[in-house]
Structure 1
Amino acid sequence: MGIFEAADGSDLPEIHHIEPMIVRQIRMIVHESLHATGEENTHKLMCCCSSGKTMVSALFEKNAYTTSEVAKALVNIHNIESSCPVKSVTIKLKQHVKLDSKHHHYFYVDTVCKQKFPGTPAKENVEKYAIEIDLSKSKQTFNQAQDNEEDKEELVEDENEIVQFLQPTTNGKWVNIQYELEISLQMGGTC
């Protein structure tokens, strides 16, 4: 009888390659590279006339979280120099997973969290958008607190959800998991 035995009593095929692996419980989810980022974009009306600049910046409150904490990413939209309104703001948290072995490489990107906010009028500065991610839950739907403005569109439930457990960031030789916060604006009046 070998080390492994099938339920019917027959031996399993031989293992051709064994890789030692140490698994430990990680108490903190550490994101060493989290820092404030920003991007400025000039958008055009009718493909030729400039309608001004919009600046988006994002940051996390801290760079390490325990599994019971809520990670909060803050997003600021500086739309004072623009004559176009922002129709909506979509924030996505993407997980980049890279698995390596001696002969194979596996890479995929998955959107683990998505939240959509109503936009902001032209010539305004907004510093209120925040995405809160509860690291202890596998799936949750966000309830967006609506402002008292009548022109805000109704958001559907499918646009705001976490779809899986969040794994810790790792930067190893065989397993590499990184997270990316993607912010996209849907501008009004552009083509």
Structure 2
Amino acid sequence: MDGVFKVAHTGTLMGMYSAVTMLPDKGAGFVILINGEGEDARTALTQVLVKRYTSGDPALSVAHYAGLLEKEEAARPAAEKAPDTSRRRRATAKELAPHLGVYRDPWFGEVTLCRDGDAVRLRARKSPQLDGVVQKVGDRWLVDWDDPSVDAEAWLDMAGNGLRMAKVDPQADFSYDYEDLAFERVGNCP
């Protein structure tokens, strides 16, 4: 960067953001660890610290990079932004009756979409964190996960004998690979 050799790697997992950056020629390196939604903070802090060693320009502050990130977000097409899901309500078993049952994905395994009291709940057998109440948003369904560390809600799309999922927020971390799952119905609710 700016003619200075840089070695770096970032990591993101369920709301935890990290960055490791080394500038061997400058004898400098740093680690950033953030517990929370901090992608923009990680980006701005990393840029400021690197630029301190590679360019020394005091105008390249956290505020400068935060402003660039805000402009980038404002220019992002609507299709790439998270939709407003604030007008959600709990789905009823009656609404989802044709789709209630046990589903299986060849890789992920089994999930149940079944009545739970007055609600409908999606539960993943192999991943207890993926347990949440199904909500209705307009004409779509989403899962509001019980575990707050699962910070990417999922759309549920049901067609025929199948169940597909997708991230509600298209910018959610790639490790929430709901789109890779293709569930087929294998039975009724227990």
Q: Which bin holds the TM-score, normalised by the shorter protein?
A: under 0.3
Which entry has the higher C-alpha Rg, 1 or 2? Answer: 1
Query: Going by fraction, where is helix more abundant, 1 or 2?
Result: 2
Give TM-score, length-normalised by structure 1: 0.22
Give TM-score, length-normalised by structure 2: 0.22
Higher RCO (C-alpha under 8 Å, 6+ residues apart): 1
Query: Going by fraction, where is strand more abundant, 1 or 2?
Result: 1
